[in-house]
Structure 1
Amino acid sequence: MLRKDTSAWLGRAVAALAALVWLAAAAPVTAAARTDAAPTDAGGTSMDRVRTAETNRAKWLGDTPSPLAETDPELAAMRDRLVYGEILDQGTLDTRQAALVTLAALTASQALAPLEAQAGAALRVSASAADIRETLYQCAPYVGFPRVEAALAVVNPVLKAHGAALPLEKQATVDEKTRLADGIAVQKKIFGAEHIDALRANAPEGQKAIIANYLSAFCFGDLYTRRVLDLKMRELVTFSAIVALGGCDPQARAHAAANVNVGNSKQNLVDALAVMLPLIGFPRTLNGLAAVNAAVPEQTR
């Protein structure tokens, strides 16, 4: 009886020892795997936003300290990890496009303090002084001259600090004799000749100055014909400014379609909205997304 108990005990001891040996061999591999892998959240998504945010913030803003981080470090971390750790690290827009979309949104929103910082960021990530000026000018027909003038008041000192000589080189291609005809030509190129001809023909007599003349000559003649930004970039800036301004859903839909007409993709527009999201909030972003979906419905299988 004693021998049977002893034998059973020895069997259990050997099995336990074998399990310990196996665990000891496996433990270093497991530890190494945990060291090499990025932390994940409950859904398995990479949580490496902190390092990415630090790298991208330095790329865009250099070593400029964040005043918000001094007083409200948690909110600053939320902002920076969303903007620089996620949004600006993905999507179809290059850094120049994302920078100009940002400037358009801030101009429309009249967020002048961040506009100053982002003007410097735009220069740092490959936008030129002329790109920045044309972006702000392009906003004028949609957000009004006072907002653009206020934006220029904070942006121009940044351009000068980076070596730009003001005023910058002229980029107009029209004069008093050609601005209306050239504006109509650009409108037709973007929206289609039939649509523009009907718009002008059907404008009520008392409203023709706004609908048929100021729109064509000022908005399209004076602005869309300028050099530096091509039609694709001008339409992306226009769409961004309109969405950021808010309350302009018909115009947002029209310019979402116009973007596609000149060669931007639906995903370009969605990614521009993502860039603007931290600047304008979810309501205006979702309104912009609704405008995009109305103008360019999703492909269904």
Structure 2
Amino acid sequence: MPNKNAQQNHDVMFPNHVSTLKKTDPEFIDIFDNFAFDEVLQHIQIETKLRLKVTLASLIAMQCLNEYKAMLTAALNVGVTPVEIKEIVYQAVPYVGLGKVFDFLNGTNEVFAEKGISVPLEPQSTTTPDSRMDEGLKTVRRIVGGTVDNMLTNAPENQKHFATFLADNCFGDFYTRNGLDDKTRELLTFAMLVSMGGADPQVKGHIAANKNVGNDKQKLIDTITVLLPFIGYPRTLTALNLLNEVIPEDKD
């Protein structure tokens, strides 16, 4: 049986729900629930809504559609708004690619339909085709610093368009949207990158970016801790090592 704390935390997310795995794999589900919904939560200070937001971002990055849809229901149950959920999905596009996000757009709409949530939602864009580059540059400078400016200045001519895309598309089209603030978007980006694996330089860059927007080292440790049951130990420990490289423990 799940312990009392695990059961209570599970019931907050999934009221009146009995997992099918509880019937087919009761030993496993007890082990997982006791770990993910009690032991892990004893070591974090992230509030429930943010915990579920970073979990959704992680599941998108790992292509876990069924678990995503389950946790999407949990997110709605604890008060994460439909706008916030759609923004999490949109935020994933520049980092994991539409090829991976496409199914999650459809999956989100399916869950929304089941819950009686009408789409499309209210528009959240704050830029136009004419303003996206300038606003993107302002945003990327605020969050990341001079990285894109340096690329625009120093990259070979046949590669400068990647810097332009980072400014006008990644930041101008997505980061400037309403619905989520800079701190949340950066934490989501960090969650996606560590969950994908194979993006260590980008993970390190976004650790620094998180610090720039006010997410301290403990917030990033909490995020890694939250993700552990879903991403496993290898990617968790890799993320922790990268975090300690960028923000050494004695210099935080």
Asked whether 1:117 is paired with 2:70, we answer: yes
2:173 — aligned with what? 222
The amino acid that maps onto 1:229 is L
Mapping 1:114-193, distance limit 5 Å = 114-193=67-146
- Match for residue 77 of structure 1? 30
Paired residue for 1:247, among 175, 179, 198?
Answer: 198
User: How many Å separate the matches in 2 of 1:162 and 1:299?
Assistant: 48
Post-superposition shift, 1:181?
A: 1.1
Q: SS of the residue aligned with 1:214?
A: helix
CA distance in 2: counterparts of 1:170 and 1:300, whole angstroms:
42
User: Once the 2 structures are TM-superposed, how far is the Cα of residue 281 of structure 1 from its aligned partner?
Assistant: 0.5
CA contact under 8 A between 2:194 and 2:236: conserved in structure 1? yes
| Equivalent residue number for residue 205 of structure 1 | 157
Q: CA deviation at 1:89?
A: 4.7
Q: How much has 1:294 moved relative to structure 2?
A: 1.4
1:300 CA drift (Å): 6.2
Q: Which runs of 5+ in 2 are unaligned?
A: none
Q: Which has the larger radius of gyration?
A: 1
Bigger RCO of structures 1 and 2 (CA < 8 A, at least 6 apart): 2
Q: Compute the displacement of 1:199 (Å).
A: 2.5
Q: Give the TM-score, by structure 1 length.
A: 0.80
Q: Report if the CA contact (8 A) 2:56-2:71 is conserved.
A: yes
Larger deviation: 162-171 or 226-235?
162-171
1:196 to partner: Cα distance? 3.5
| Cα separation, partners in 2 of 1:55 and 1:266, compared to 1, 3 Å | same
In structure 2, the residue matched to 1:18 is none
Q: CA deviation at 1:288?
A: 1.0
After the TM superposition, list the runs of 4 or more consecutive aligned residues in structure 1 that deviate by more than 4 angstroms: none
Would the aligned equivalents of 2:43 and 2:225 in 1 still touch at CA under 8 Å? no
Distance 2:180 2:89 in 1: 11
Matched residue SS, 2:249: coil
Q: Which residue of 1 aligns with 2:224?
A: 273
* 1:205-229: CA deviation from partner (whole Å, max 9, x where unpaired): 111111x111111111000000010
Q: How does 1:57-72 map to 2 (within 5 A)?
A: 57-72=10-25
In the alignment, the residues of structure 2 paired with residue 189 and residue 133 of structure 1 have an alpha-carbon distance, to the nearest angstrom, of 24
Whether 2:232 is the aligned partner of 1:284: answer no
Structure-1 residue corresponding to 2:212: 261
Among 216, 222, 238, the residue aligned to 2:189: 238
Question: Offset at 1:90?
Answer: 4.4
TM-score by length of 2: 0.95
Partners of 1:216 and 1:237 in 2: CA distance: 19
Instruction: Specify the SS of the correspondent of 2:122.
Output: coil
Percentage of matched positions with identical amino acids: 41
1:55 and 1:90 map into 2 onto residues whose CA distance is 17
- 1:99 matches 2:45: no
> Aligned equivalents of 2:251 and 2:165: distance in 1?
40
Residue by residue over 1:184-220, the C-alpha shift from the partner in whole angstroms, topping out at 9 and shown as x without a partner, is: 1111001224x4422220111111111x111111111
SS across alignment from 1:226: coil
5+ residue gaps, structure 1, are 1-48
Structure 2 distance, partners of 1:116, 1:206, is 41
Equivalenced residue count is: 252
- Return the letter of the residue paired with 1:94: E
